[in-house]
Structure formats: C-alpha cells, structure tokens
C-alpha cells in the first residue's frame, strides 16, 4: 500500500473521487465491477464529459517522496493533494461566477485540508470513526462549496444525515435554517442493498460508519467478478462473504476503513461538483428550482468513475488517486 502511494500520487483533471470503488485482495486490481444505479439517466452525459477530460490527461502530479520515505511525508502529500483539489475547485467555480479566483483558491485550500482531516478520522478503528470523519469531511467540503459560490466560509453546512440517504443543509444567514434533501443516488443504492438477495444490513456498523454497510452471505458480492472483496457505491458500503475467497481477505476493520474513505470521496463529488452543475441546470425552470430544494442528484459521480477507467484501464485502476488515498489512509 505504502509503495502504491509512494510510487506516485497523480491528481487527474477529474479530481479525487469516483462513485464506485472496490477493494482487492492483491496489490494488483484483478477485476472491475460496474454496478447499475438509478443514475443511469446521466451515463451518456457523464461518458461524454469523461472522454473530454480523459483526452486532456492528468495535469497535476504530486510525488509524495521516495518509496521508503517516512509515513508523515506521504501524509503531507495526501494533505497537499486534498488542499489542491479544494483550491482549484473553488477558485475555478468562483471565477466562473464572476468572483475572485484567488479568494476561492485560498479558502478552497483550507476546506480541502479539513476534508483530509475527516478522511484520516474515518480511517481510524474506534466506534463511530466513520460517522465522525464523514461529518468533519462534510465541514471541509462545505467550506469548498461556500468558497466556490463566493459565500462566507461557514454560511452553509452540507451535512450527511448519518447512514440515511439524506443531507441536511444548515444555513447561518439571517438566523439558522435547516433544509433536508433526499440523496437520490444514495437512496437507490440503499434500496438495492435492502432488496438484494443474501445481503445483510449491519445496523450497528452502519451507524458507526455513518453510511449503510451491507455484507453478502453465501454469495459472491459480484457474480461476474469473484476477486472483488468490497466496494463503495452511492455512499453505501458492500462487503463480500469472507468465507468464499481462496486467499484470506484482509481484516474486516481494514476493509471497512478503506471503503469509508471512498464514501467521503463521494461526498466531495456530490457537494462540491455535482450540486453546482445540477443547480445550474435545474434553476433554469420553475419545477427544477422546486425540485433542487428537496433532492440532490449525484450526476458527476459517474464522470469520475468513467474517467478513472478511461485514464488508467481496468488493470491499473489501483493507481487512480482515490484508490491510492484509500489504501494509504486505511493502512494498506
């Protein structure tokens, strides 16, 4: 794992996240799983954007240091990567709205650093680490979002409601107001887990992780790809049946920590990237404006997934920044 992140942490033009991530027992990714999702309506759009982004290629490369370097050096690199993505996101989006690139860049960098702190917390082993880390990450992502919109840094907080497929927007302008939104993609994946055959919801672990955690029992997690031990999709975590694999899988806690980092990465894409795009589209008509008050659509989660596949291919997907980050923070 350390070798993987030390070798090279590349931040692509698509950023640091994707809607689907999976854990593999070996250092090399052996297979790729493409689950179906309620977000299929955006796939065509997502793939188009992904091809454009992939054609441009990675434009930032961060090398955390020599492979045998101390672990703190890699932590600094991951922190810098998160800060850079927050900075570029907020700088570019604020500039597009006629604001200041510099203001967005600086405040976005701080938000990205807070997001890194959330991921570190989510990868710890204590009970509730995932929920705590997810909320810390959400504060950082909210800072990036506010900077993107040219709003005061803490004017709005976009907080996941524990493992529920919902997000609460807390506004601190003119008093305190709370608006709950249904996370459509997360609701779809939660429903898929609840309705899926021989998938058990681990309620205690779901509250601890701050995201639904399902475990397969006596069946392959992905029927067509038996090397997939776990994956995170739509802010739900799916774990394979450890008894089915020929090689003993890593400890469950490590696998969970890894997937929790992916959940936080998906939160970033939803609030910092997908929301502004969806709002720009939905605010053009009345029904759209009403809809965006109550639901949130994760259109760009698909783009990041597609970019990771197009940029690295199936057999080198473990080099994608989101995977490197999850492996590093989870301890492998």
Q: Judged by CB, which is closer to Zn ion: 105, or 328? A: 328
217-to-201, 240, 244 alpha-carbon distances in Å: 11, 8, 9
* 80-109 binders of Zn ion (CB under 5 A): none
* Shortest distance (Å) from residue 319 CB to Zn ion: 12
Q: Judged by CB, which is closer to Zn ion: 230, or 297? A: 230
* Shortest distance (Å) from residue 59 CB to Zn ion: 23
Quote the CA–CA distance of 19 and 38 in Å, as a whole number. 12
Binding residues for Zn ion, rule CB under 5 A, total 3
* Shortest distance (Å) from residue 106 CB to Zn ion: 31
Q: Judged by CB, which is closer to Zn ion: 107, or 262? A: 262
Q: Judged by CB, which is closer to Zn ion: 121, or 256? A: 256
Q: Give the x/- contact pattern for Zn ion in 287-326, rule: CB under 5 A.
A: ------------------------------------x--x
Q: Judged by CB, which is closer to Zn ion: 23, or 273? A: 23
* Shortest distance (Å) from residue 241 CB to Zn ion: 18
Quote the CA–CA distance of 158 and 180 in Å, as a whole number. 10
Q: In this structure, what is the dihedral angle of CA atoms 2, 8, 13, 18, given to the nearest 10 degrees?
A: -20
Burial of 329 (0-12, 13-18, 19+ CB in 10 A): buried
Q: Give the x/- contact pattern for Zn ion in 13-32, rule: CB under 5 A.
A: --------x-----------
Closest CA to 144 of 230, 50, 270: 270
Contacts of 263 (CB under 8 A, 6+ apart): 122, 130, 134, 209, 210, 211, 232, 235, 237
Could you tell me how many helices (H) and strands (E) the chain has, helices first?
12, 11
* Shortest distance (Å) from residue 297 CB to Zn ion: 24
Q: Judged by CB, which is closer to Zn ion: 142, or 308? A: 308
Quote the CA–CA distance of 224 and 222 in Å, as a whole number. 6
* Shortest distance (Å) from residue 316 CB to Zn ion: 14
Q: Give the x/- contact pattern for Zn ion in 125-164, rule: CB under 5 A.
A: ----------------------------------------
* Shortest distance (Å) from residue 252 CB to Zn ion: 15
Quote the CA–CA distance of 221 and 24 in Å, as a whole number. 12
* Shortest distance (Å) from residue 22 CB to Zn ion: 6
Quote the CA–CA distance of 294 and 166 in Å, as a whole number. 10
Tell me the residue number closest to Zn ion, measured at CB.
Answer: 21
Closest CA to 73 of 141, 137, 9: 9
Q: Judged by CB, which is closer to Zn ion: 149, or 323? A: 323
Chain residues in the site for Zn ion (CB under 5 A):
21, 323, 326
């Amino acid at each position: 794992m350390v070798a993987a992140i030390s070798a090279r942490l590349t931040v692509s033009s698509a950023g640091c996240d994707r809607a689907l991530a999976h854990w593999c027992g070996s250092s090399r990714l052996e297979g790729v799983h493409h689950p179906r999702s309620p977000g299929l309506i955006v796939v065509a759009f997502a793939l188009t954007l992904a091809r454009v982004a992939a054609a441009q290629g990675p434009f930032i490369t961060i090398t955390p240091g020599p492979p045998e370097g101390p672990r703190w050096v890699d932590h600094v690199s991951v922190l810098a990567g998160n800060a850079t993505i927050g900075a570029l996101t907020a700088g570019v989006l604020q500039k597009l709205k006629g604001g200041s690139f510099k203001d967005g860049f600086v405040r976005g960098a701080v938000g990205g650093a807070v997001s890194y702190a959330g991921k570190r917390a989510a990868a710890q082993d204590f009970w509730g680490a995932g929920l705590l880390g997810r909320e810390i990450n959400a504060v950082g992502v909210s800072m990036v979002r506010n900077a993107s919109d040219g709003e005061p840094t803490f004017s709005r907080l976009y907080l996941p409601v524990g493992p529920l497929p919902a997000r609460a927007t807390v506004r601190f302008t003119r008093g305190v107001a709370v608006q709950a939104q249904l996370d459509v993609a997360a609701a779809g994946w939660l429903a898929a887990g609840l309705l899926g055959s021989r998938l058990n919801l681990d309620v205690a672990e779901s509250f601890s992780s701050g995201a639904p955690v399902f475990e397969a029992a006596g069946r392959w997690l992905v029927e067509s790809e038996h090397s997939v031990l776990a994956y995170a999709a739509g802010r739900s975590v799916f774990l394979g049946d450890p008894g089915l694999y020929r090689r003993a899988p890593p400890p469950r806690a490590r696998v969970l920590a890894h997937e929790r980092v992916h959940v936080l990465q998906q939160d970033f894409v939803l609030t910092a990237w997908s929301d502004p795009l969806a709002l720009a589209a939905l605010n053009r008509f009345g029904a759209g404006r009403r809809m965006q008050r109550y639901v949130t659509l994760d259109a760009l989660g698909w783009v990041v997934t597609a970019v990771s596949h197009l940029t690295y291919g199936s057999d080198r997907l473990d080099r994608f920044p989101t995977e490197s980050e999850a492996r590093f923070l989870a301890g492998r």
